[in-house]
Structure 1
Amino acid sequence: MNSEKLIAVIIDALEEIKAHDIDIINVAKITSMFEYIIIASADSTRQTKSLANNVQVKVKAAGGSVFSVEGEQTGEWLLVDLGDVIVHIMLPTVREYYNLKALWSGQSESPSNRT
């Protein structure tokens, strides 16, 4: 499955369980490990786990592969590795703290500017 189709499946799966603040970042020029990162927010640990599960189910149903899932113990930040696309599902406080969007798009602040 190509990356564009995989992204469409992922976004549908996230929206189905009401994820919000979904960002798609093309990182192909930064790393050769994967092409895209998708970051989504959830309102509770239960929702992060449901979102990660729904992404896995929908990707497998569409013929894609799930390589690994990390973070299921706490549920504050789940990572779903789908090969060319990595999905990060995070609680808003965790997302704000790590600021992956700025990190991967090259717009991160210097550590001395963070509070």
Structure 2
Amino acid sequence: MEMSAEKLVQLIAQRVYDRKGFNIMAIDVREVSSITDFLLIAEGNIERHVVAISEDIQDCMREIGEKPFRVEGRENGDWLVLDYLNIMIHLFIPEMREKYQLEKLWSNGKIVDLHIETDKSKSNAI
């Protein structure tokens, strides 16, 4: 059974959080872009962290039968893009995210309400 793009965005955001990624946001750009439906933007502390987050996302997506159309930036790790066609994931080190400010570029998109289960919410559920 195929998962909707909306559910995939939520799944990916959770995986990024679980790998200690931060400043996670998703933007619905279906009304303003023909390139993709959703952008997910997040940060890792250093290049190696960004690469590790991207590898975890790819493992997760592979488990549900999704392969990236393209992966860019793995050599440097300061800005890595995973293109799943309907979802484009941008992982940055903080300096690169600040430099390119993709959120401003796509400010006419709609911010997606992410339902990330934090460590705090997990402990409250016990």
> TM-score, normalised to structure 1's length?
0.87
Distance in 2 between residues matched to 1:63 and 1:8, nearest whole Å: 17
Cα offset for 1:12?
Answer: 2.0
Q: Which runs of 4+ in 1 moved over 4 A?
A: none
Distance in 1 between residues matched to 2:25 and 2:90, nearest whole Å: 10
Structure 2 match to 1:75: 77
Structure 1: 5+ residue stretches without partners: 108-115
Q: Aligned partner of 1:91: which letter?
A: I
Query: Relative to structure 2, which stretch is displaced further, 62-71 or 37-46?
Result: 62-71
Cα offset for 1:74?
Answer: 0.6
Distance in 1 between residues matched to 2:107 and 2:31, nearest whole Å: 10
Structure 2 match to 1:93: 95
Distance in 2 between residues matched to 1:102 and 1:29, nearest whole Å: 16
Task: Report the number of matched residues.
Answer: 107
Task: List per-residue Cα deviations over 1:30-62 (Å, max 9, x = no partner).
Answer: 112210000001100000000111111101112
Structure 2: 5+ residue stretches without partners: 110-126
Structure 2 match to 1:59: 61
SS of 1:63's equivalent in the other structure is coil
> TM-score, normalised to structure 2's length?
0.80
RMSD: 1.4
